[in-house]
Structure 1
Amino acid sequence: MLEPRGENTFEYSLHEGTKTRMQFHFADEMAMPVAIQTWELPPGGHEGMHSHDPAELALEEFYLVLEGTAAMRVGDEEHELVAGDSVLAQIGVPHDLRNTGEGTLRVLVVWGEEGRKDFSSFGSLAAARAVRAANQ
């Protein structure tokens, strides 16, 4: 299946933030229990500070900056982000993403409910663990 960049995009305001151009990739077509979206925030645009109450819907969110610069508050930490940087907003932790650049901020966002999958049989996980251990 192919879904070209920009296909089926729409404007949407997230968590009382500014309007965001969004593409919800393969909506209703994917078997994986996650949502995969591309967001485009205008200069000065923001998602809106929010958290996901574990008692209601325990969501975790992964953000990967594709283009532009951003600031992201996650709990008590503030992160300055550039293309290639990623942030994990864990369940119940307040967070907000803001475009700090002069151009459009493009972000890949993957979110879903808590759960675990065993990827230990994949060599790439062993390699990732080895790199992380060496960098500690």
Structure 2
Amino acid sequence: MFEPRGAYTFDYALHEGSGTRMQFHFADEMRMPVAIQTWELEPGGHEGMHAHHRDDMTLEEFYLVLEGTASMRVGQEQHELKAGDSILAPAGVEHDLRNTGDGTLRVLVVWGEEGHKDFSAFGSLAAAREARARND
């Protein structure tokens, strides 16, 4: 399956934030238990402060800045982000993403129910753990 950039975009307001241009990748075709989206926020645009802790589904969210600069509050911590930076918003923790740049902010967002998956059989996980150990 192939999905080109911008092919299925729509405007959507998230959590009482500003309007967001969004693409929900493979919305009905993907079998992984996550949602994968790209978001575009104009200068000054923001997601809106929120947390995911509904009784029926607690969600974690992963954000990866593709283009632009952003500020993101997760809990009591404030983070300044640029292209290549990523951040995780754990389930139940308030968070808000805001475009702080002069151009469009493009972000890859992956979200799904919290849980655990054992990836220990993959060599890339072992290499990632070694890289983290060297930098801690």
* Shorter-chain TM-score range: over 0.9
State the 1:123 CA deviation.
Answer: 0.6
Matched, 1:23 2:23: yes
Matched, 1:72 2:77: no
State the 1:116 CA deviation.
Answer: 1.2
Q: Secondary structure at the match of 2:133?
A: helix
Which residues in structure 2 correspond to 1:47-58 (within 5 Å)?
47-53=47-53, 55-58=55-58
Distance 1:28 1:62 in 2: 20
CA-to-partner distance for each residue in 1:7-38, whole Å, 9 max, x for gaps?
11000000000000000000010010000000
Q: 4+ residue runs of structure 1 moved beyond 3 angstroms?
A: none
Distance 2:48 2:114 in 1: 22
CA-to-partner distance for each residue in 1:64-83, whole Å, 9 max, x for gaps?
00000000000000000000
Distance 2:21 2:54 in 1: 27
Distance 1:24 1:63 in 2: 14
Q: Secondary structure at the match of 2:30?
A: coil
Which residues in structure 2 correspond to 1:48-127 (within 5 Å)?
48-53=48-53, 55-127=55-127
Distance 1:115 1:89 in 2: 14
Tell me if structure 2 keeps the 8 A contact 1:54–1:91.
Answer: no
User: Which stretches in structure 2 are left out of the alignment for 5+ residues?
Assistant: none
What one-letter code is carried by the residue in structure 1 that aligns with 2:104?
T
What one-letter code is carried by the residue in structure 1 that aligns with 2:92?
G
User: Which stretches in structure 1 are left out of the alignment for 5+ residues?
Assistant: none
CA RMSD of aligned residues (A): 0.8
Which residues in structure 2 correspond to 1:123-134 (within 5 Å)?
123-134=123-134
TM-score (norm 1): 0.98
**Percent identity (aligned):** 77
The aligned length equals 136
Distance 2:102 2:74 in 1: 23
Distance 2:26 2:56 in 1: 25
TM-score (norm 2): 0.98
